[in-house]
Structure 1
Amino acid sequence: MAENRASEYTEGTPCWVDAQLPDVAAGKRFYGELFGWTFEDQPQGTVRALKDGAPVASLAHKPDGRLPTVWTVSFATPDAGALCARIRAGGGQVVSPPLPFGDLGSTALVTDPEGAVFALWQGARTPGFGRRHEPGTFAWVQLYTRDTETANTFYGDLFRDALFGPDADPDFGRSPVTDVFAAEMPPHFLVHFAAEDLPAGLAQVARLGGRVQVPAFETSYGTAAVVTDDQGASFALLRR
């Protein structure tokens, strides 16, 4: 999916991913080697990752060492303020209200009723991914939740067109936490990147200083493995 057309991003479609890291330079080395990304500076001190010249992700320095080292998914919206109000009404929380990100768009950080963190993106000049569903780019995001009924209700109401509309082809699913992780793992989103050769990808993660958190397992959307980078940010490799 080489082109980045705004019409592809119905409200509730995963449209961007970013990593909050202690060391952005180390992140560039790790992901540049793993996925073949190149990088360019962006507003507010972030670095944009490119795959074959098209934008695919961002890396940013954690402003506070107490914050988690994580990958965060952003969902598209035409009106971040209105969506924040609906999130509150549905039992979620707004961690950071919509703020401009240069002239590219506006972003907000929110949680669902169980505390799983995700972001909203109201694109202006940049609607979202320039490439996805290709090796080294975003492929899927899975919500791991303890209360699947609450999640079904919350996201089904919030993102109905993207999940259930006539043209829906969602890149978003949900599973109970205990399907892959220990029961004490908090609810969270797990970003998946496409891998052409999963065993080779896992070997490269290890060679670069990361580790395999959950070995390859079968899902309804492909074969996945959960890994961490060399700074502890979890993500998944996915072979479809």
Structure 2
Amino acid sequence: MKRQNEVTTESKLGGNFHRAKEFDMKFQVVKTHKLAKEDSGKQAALSQAQTEENEMLKRRITALEMQLDIQKQEQQQLEDTVDTQQTMIETMQKKLIFNGNLYADMEQQQRALYKQISAQQLVNEKLASCQPGWLKQVSSDLHRLQQNFDILQLKIAICDKQLKEVSKEEVFNFEDLQEQNAQNILLINKMAEKRNEIETFMAKKDEQIPVKTFLKETGEIRAEIKALDEWVGKLKFSTKM
């Protein structure tokens, strides 16, 4: 009886052991599936995060490439601007050299004009000693000629001022100034010729010249001076650089 009870107890214990072992195996399977499921979820989340990070990195690379293209364009524009400015500087240097030469020529003409005015003053002094009745009109014409010289001197002074105030930011019209300069030289030469004619004519005052001849030559000189005076008035000197 006792032995039978022991066998029954062992059978019960054995059955319990097998059930416990089976339960443990099932638990391990469930646990493994659960861990696998959790790992799968984590892997999916990690993959999603990696994908988003890759997309963000791609967008950043694209933005950097666009920024690099913009910088390249800006650099090219800056290089083009530098080239243009360098060309402008070289052109302005050439203009400044030209202006310097032109200014030197203008100074030379001014010195020549001063000499002519001095000579004219000597002529006026000679006129002061002449007979007023005969030479009154000639003296008036010579005075007008002196005024023409003064006007020309003033206009040359304007050109002189223009040359000194050449701006590096404005375009200088050299052709117009050259044309004005040529007109000035031509006018100076014409006035010099006319003054020589008058001086030659005045040298005859001590000779026995018929009054009609004297008045005729005086009228011709006066007409020529009037025409010259009108020509001086038509000269235009630009005050713009």
* Length-normalised TM-score, structure 1: 0.22
Higher normalized contact order (CA 8 Å, seq sep 6+, divided by chain length): 2
More strand by share: 1
* Structure holding more helix per residue: 2
Larger-gyration structure (1/2): 2
